[in-house]
Amino acid sequence: MTPSIRHSLINIAQSVLLIGGMGAIAWACVTAIWGGEAALWVFAGIGLMLALSPALPADMMLSLYGARRIEPQQFPEGIAILNDLARRAEIPEIPTLYYLPSAMPMAFTTGRGESLAIALSDGMLRLLNARELRGVLAHEISHVAHGDLWIMRLADVMSRATTITSYAGQLLLVLNLPLLLAGEAHVPWTAVLLLVFSPTLTSLLQLALSRAREFSADQGAAQLTGDPAALASALLKLERTAGRFWEEMVMPGRRIPAPSVLRTHPRTEDRIDRLKALAPDAFRPRPRAEDERLVPRWPMIENPPRWRRTGVWY
């Protein structure tokens, strides 16, 4: 079995188990309060909502960051790379490329269908060369091709449903506390513990799912570009440049290690190790000519990152 197939199977198995675990916790919470029949109705409602309700409009998300659409004449090289990757991935719609006026290096994908958008910050565009930018865009395209936006939306809905059910159950326990103290009612301690800890457990599973989908998108990017070293190089640059703002404020020059279970993304070292396993020969030295940067045709943003009125940090 090749490393690519092995990693694909591992990623799929992890995602199925994590989604199943979140669903099992949500089912147990609803059943503990209202019974099995109510749980069926709740899950049917969640499925109907996911099928009929639109995702958060891309324009709304992008407006929070002050993003603006990149026209072909402003960044023809970047648009050409995006279109080529979208065709290679055979996704129905080619995403629109947006520019974020922020010196913080970041990229994200939002929307779906015709409103699908990939946003790149000024800091990201200034930091990466053409080869590395292609790897990052391939990573974002892979998220779209793998349906990760829908999967994470499903996880978010189940997480919210579990949290609401947990709070409702705890409120019912408080309201019925006099009956419980008088011995008029009985509640199993297992149900109480489930209601108290289910939101935390679901959140941890959601974070684990996010990390699994990042590994999958890394692998997809390597397959689209045939150059896993490009994405690995971009990840190294982002790790060294972005850092953690609060760490630099509180402990300059030091790094506070975040527990792996609380990360939305895997450790950069782990991601690079997996990319190296896919094609070790791709990590040999390459010509310096490929280090050319693709500079967009607009002024560089020099303002440092800060909190905005929208509540977003960029």
Catalytic site residues? 140
Phi, psi of 99 (to 5 degrees): -110, 130
Burial readout 79-91 (b: 16 or more C-beta within 10 A, e: otherwise): bebbebbbeebee
Tokens read off for 184: 């008029």
Q: What is the DSSP letter of 101?
A: -
Contacts of the segment 222-226: beta carbons below 8 A, 24+ positions apart: 222/138, 222/275, 222/278, 222/279, 223/4, 224/85, 224/88, 224/89, 224/138, 224/141, 224/142, 225/85, 225/134, 225/135, 225/138, 226/282
Tokens read off for 18: 């994590």
